[in-house]
A and B are shown apart, each in its own frame.
Chain A
Amino acid sequence: MENLVYIALFAPLVSSLFAALFGMSPKKQFVGVVASVLLGISLVASLMLASYVYTTGNTIHVTMMDWISAGDLHIPFGFVVDQVSVTMMSVVTLVSTVVHIYSNGYMDHDKSFNRFFSYLSAFVFSMMVLVMSDNFAGLFIGWEGVGVCSWLLIGFWYHKEDVSREENPSISPSWAANEAFIMNRIADLGMLVGLFILYWNVGSLQYDEVFAALPHLSGSILNAAAIFLFIGAMGKSAQFPLHTWLTDAMEGPTPVSALIHAATMVTAGVFLVIRANPLFSMTPDVSYFIAALGTFVAFFAASMALVNRDLKRIIAFSTLSQLGYMFAAAGLGAYWIALFHLAAHAFFKALLFLGAGNVMHAMHDELDIFKMGGLKKTMKWTYIYMGLASLALAGIPFFAGYFSKDAIIETAWNEGTLVLWLILVVTAGMTAFYSFRQVFLTFEGDERYKQYGIHPHEMYKYVLIAMSPLAILAVIAGFFKEPFEHFVTALLPEYHMSEHTHHIAWLLGIVVLVFAVGGIALAFKKYYKGLKRDEALESSWYYKLLANQYYIPDFYEEFISKPYAMISEKMWNSVDMRIVDATVDGIAKFLYETGDGSRKMQTGNLSNYLNWMAVGAVLLLVVAAVSAAVIG
């Protein structure tokens, strides 16, 4: 079993290094194939581990070697395969494998094909380190590792030029990449501080030791640790106010968006909260804040998705919104439901993104859904896939999202947080609306793309086949809810609905369903027949507010980026050069000029010297007299 752990973990690393060997050479098809096979191996190993943990209930814990030890701090490279990590491993490797195969088709015309696979596999390796580590420092390795891979992949088309925000809201891939990295770093500082708090109060960063020591810690320390760890989670999972990077990250190639910015990396924050559930369950106030923030983000992101015209950005906002749902569940103590939604979401959201990738591939990288329409004729399979994924996302009965998202909404009711419940229900309706607005505008109605001279075509067959596991899971994953609950609650706290909630569960379900179906119906009415633009609506202030993401990116630009650059410039020119350095030079100059000035005393004239001698003698006498008076 230990070998399987290492195979699951290191196969992606091998894949990355192998692809890196050819990183600078022209496209080599076998690089993509080998990478996909290695990822497949990792998937098989993860599934075998999952079945082992499932059947025996045992967990596997391996320690590879020491990493850092200084003073009393000892951090090993240790990995743990338990119910939570094996779930994450299976989800990550499954989506990764599909995305790797998919990328063979999607990136086929890209000259940096090999480099792409190297980055993509490196990402998977980092993600595996993140989920498998047995300590917080190891988690942080993966945490930063996925950050760098995300930076590399968002900026994959680094040669593109910076343009104005009107032309492209993300400015350029390299700009978006830097934004993502820096914003994540802000959160990472919080995460580090969380680690420091735990270390100095517990004396270790190992999960088991930390969790065992929690009952002995004071409430304020627990709260501080929970807050700072959650700040870290907010960055990776793009929670408000650190959310702007996620939509800009759509500048990366679409398989990247599917894998990193939908299915895996952005859920790392949720994973952290789930993993550290012993801590968060002891800090009800922080947890409630997490739930409230998650609910807010769910609504906030969905509202921006309502009006967006960019195929990928709509899905990105939707991801943001669903992450909000997961945090709501985790914050309310339903950790296993959060994990369940995380997994289900990974499947249907990756599918949705890959479908969007097919559309982009067909439409020559056009992203504006107002320029699409009627694609169902040429792209039947993509339509079916995206339709299924959207049904799952909207929470239509018996698709995956129905089981996972409804459970979250039910939890909000069960906890008595009716405001949260109401917002989540409304958001469910909005989710259904924007998902189907997108689907209908893309696939139904008039073929608006014709006036742009685009000739769409369906994606390669093998790519469509590779996507099928995700499609199947998007449909059936919900039926595994009960075995899943049984499986992960061996480790996570159980969560049961109260008797009362249980009785009216059917009613709650119907309320949500009404909103979801209502959203779809509204989208059907407005967009099924084609695009009818409403000038009055589009020029209204609230439409503009949503379309400009509440002007938050502009606010950051004006009140953070620009002042930072300006202050930096001032620090350099005015402070460093004019004050600090000028003072140093001033002192040097003073010394030099004193010397130069006093040189005039050296006249060579004997009577002058005698005069100076007399002055000196008098001065010395005065000094002697004064000091005698003071001391004596």
Chain B
Amino acid sequence: MKKFIIKTCVYVLLILIALELMVRALHLYTEDPPRFIDEYGVEKRVPSHTGYAVTGNRNQNFSKFHINNAGFNSFREFKPTQEKFEIALIGDSFIEGFHQDYYDSTGKKIERAMNDTVEVYEYGYAGYDLANQMHLINAYKDQFELIDEIIIYLNYQSDLERGVYEPNTQRIAMLKSTVFRIRDNIKLLAYGSKIGIVDPLKKLVTGQAFQEENSGGYETNEIVVPQHKDQEYLDNFKNLVELYGFDKCKTTILLDSRKTSESFLEYCKQNDIKYLDFAQAFEKTKKPVTLIYDHHWNNHGRDLIAQVISNYIGTISKNKKCE
């Protein structure tokens, strides 16, 4: 019996080591470049990191990322000037785009569509909401004054939960904690965690295993906003505009009208806040626009977004009157 238990433990240990080596060799795990909060209170990535982001359990989505000197995943450095035409594309993980090769990002696609006459600066960061984004514009005022167009991606259902920006120091501290460091360094654990194999254990520990499970595991982005939340979201939006300012002339909100409340859209219209709706482009296409494993835009989805933005920029740069 003693021999059985000892041998089993030794085998389990050796197998875990072998699996760790295999997960590393096949690069099944995803890399998450470290995050920090800079002197302006902006949460971003530690500059100059290059690596690979992986989605799915067999490397189905494998893409290279590069964190530039500004701390964002981008193929270019952000050096706005008076002479060039720059567009700032601000948003959450959809804009950060770890699910795409950084040199084939939405920004790059816009530049290509506009025959390299513009430069696109992608200020994308997973977890950004509108408060993050508007605070960022305000914090880097000097840079944004030189930028010609600002496009803010708004996911109405989740980006208007707060009306004031507070840096998320807790998250940064949590990611730096020993538990998370261990998780990040043991690639087998990072991989298992990513594909959901550790979830049953987590559920058991937190007691969720005994609760009724929700159906629709793949419908990650289909949340319905309750009506009473609309007013709260609108108030938060007004508050953010008041606190951090909103340059109506060069700022446009990129949104999906199918997932945005009518009252918010009406408010934007009444107050001359420009918005760019990509719902029609997504509705028209017959191909899927999101990845298989999560709800982020796939290459086709990014193509459509880039097309919508480049068409829009082409129109406004010709008819710009507000200056």
The reply to whether chain A is a binding partner of chain B is no
Question: Which residues on B are within 8 Å of A, measured CB to CB?
Answer: none
